[in-house]
Amino acid sequence: MLSAFTLGLFALVASSEVSASPKPVPITLQSRKTPRGQSSGLRRRALSAISVPLDDFFLGTDLQWFGNISVGTPPQDVSVVFDTGSSSLEFVSTECTSCVQTPKFDPAKSSTFVRGSRTTTLDFSTGVGVDPVVNDDYVLTVRSGTDTVTVGGVPAKNVSLFTIIDQTPAFNVDPFLGIQGMGSRAQGFFAALVKAGLPSLFSLFLTPNAVGNADLLVGGIDNTKFKGNLTFADQIGSGDWEVESTQITVNGKTTSVLKQRRSIIFDSGTSNILFSTSTTNAMYALISSDIKPFKAEPGAYGLPCAKIGSLPAVIDLTFESQQGTPFNLTIPSSELNVGPFKSDPSTCQTLINAFDGLDLVGGSVLKHYYSVWDVGNQRMGFAPNGESQSSMTGASVI
């Protein structure tokens, strides 16, 4: 879910409500290998990659993937979406009477919780489900605080966070308590783990619901979960994750609009893909003239559900590797149908939403690839998801 925080960075409107995110921690991965003969003290500090199992929030289509972190002393489990489209940690607390998610985090039960004095609102520009955001309907009211956040048994003390004290009803369907931002600058628990010696990267294995076994691997890459080699491309966003794309192809065809270079944001917290109106129209023109804007929800498109099943809609997003070689990330036709509109169940919503001002892809692309989010080297790696369901035996830290 791309948040106002990230948009704020675009617009260079730094809100004084929001504390500056820490600077990236550059890590040369090779240099983390303990040289021969070095004291065992250093070696003892080496941490192993931490695997966090993820559940899929599935409502007819894969929406978001979430897992547990622990907050407080003693630790309370807090389920969060690991969201590369935002950069802060916020979750429901007992103070939120409008929130229906349980079990709520209870600050009174944590001896290390420090309540802050700032309250602010967080506006999300992409929502929880597939429907577009209408009239600012994804807004959280939050209070600042700090507490210990523990992931993989490693406690990070005094982590800045927000407790949700009010939320708009659009959040009520969430099967999780909150959102852990995983932007391209290390912050929160991740920054603390990196400081403690873990490589500054994480990997996402976001599988379709039918496959399962999704996970987040903090500080490592699991070679058993993908086929072939990872291809890396430069990350060019400041705060969010962005890679430059050279062209978009739909069903093997492209147009002058689709051949333009554009910077595409990768947002694990968003399921639909968002492109400017002209790009969206150019893409749909190559799929079917039956796909029309859905008037009731600006930015959304749809067509009669009876017609959608047979439509070919293969989208190839072309990027360049760090070596200058083109590579594609492909969204298969099966992603085109994101399900019937609530307000008109005979019309099915299609994957691409028009949204002027940014180009963004998320779960519908990421679930077909193993993805490496390399904060230390400011690059992203991709390889096709493997079918392998085996555990961590082949895991490696590069």
Ligand X SMILES: *[C@@H]1O[C@H](CO)[C@@H](O)[C@H](O)[C@H]1NC(C)=O
Stretch that binds ligand X, among 32-40, 193-201, 325-333, 373-381 (CB under 6 A): 325-333
Q: Are strands 315-320 and 326-331 parallel, antiparallel or unpaired?
A: antiparallel
- Bridge partners (DSSP) of residue 218 are 50, 202
Q: Binder to ligand X among 17, 77, 106, 136 (CB under 6 A)? A: 77
158 forms part of the interface with ligand X (CB under 6 A): yes
Map tokens 């600012």 to a residue.
136
320 near ligand X, rule: CB under 6 A: no
**Residue 64 or 168 with smaller CB distance to ligand X:** 64
- Is the distance from CB of 389 to CB of 222 less than 8 angstroms? no
Q: Of 50-58, 122-130, 281-289, 339-347, which segment contacts ligand X by CB under 6 A? A: 50-58
For residue 5, which amino acid is it?
Answer: F
Contact indicator for 90, 99 with CB cutoff of 8 Å = no
Binder to ligand X among 35, 41, 153, 252 (CB under 6 A)? Answer: 252
Q: Does 87 bind ligand X (CB under 6 A)?
A: no
Span near ligand X by CB under 6 A; candidates 43-51, 294-302, 322-330, 370-378: 322-330
Among residues 120, 263, 281, 328, the one that binds ligand X under rule CB under 6 A: 328
Q: Can you tell me the distance from the alpha carbon of 315 to that of 254, in angstroms, rounded to the nearest whole number?
A: 10
How far is residue 369's CA from residue 243's CA, in Å, rounded to a whole number? 15
Stretch that binds ligand X, among 53-61, 122-130, 276-284, 295-303 (CB under 6 A): 53-61
Respond yes or no: is residue 267 known to be catalytic: yes
Q: Which of 56, 83, 222, 240 is catalytic?
A: 83
When asked if residue 53 is in the footprint of ligand X (CB under 6 A), the reply is yes
x/- letters, 102..141, toward ligand X (CB under 6 A): ----------------------------------------
The yes or no reply on residue 209 touching ligand X (CB under 6 A) is: no
154 CB-contact burial (10 Å; exposed 0-12 / middle 13-18 / buried 19+): middle
Determine which one of 147, 174, 267, 374 is catalytic: 267
Minimal distance in Å, beta carbon 191 to ligand X?
Answer: 12
316 is a site residue for ligand X (CB under 6 A): yes
Question: What is the rounded CA–CA span in Å between residue 43 and residue 49?
Answer: 15
- Cβ closest to ligand X, residue 120 vs residue 146: 146
- Contact call for residue 326 and ligand X (CB under 6 A): yes
In 3D space, the residue among 170, 145, 167 whose CA is nearest the CA of residue 63 turns out to be 170
CB nearer ligand X, residue 22 or residue 357: 22
Q: Contact positions toward ligand X, by CB under 6 A?
A: 53-55, 67-68, 77, 79, 146, 158, 160, 228-229, 249, 252, 316, 318, 326-328
Residues designated catalytic: 83, 267
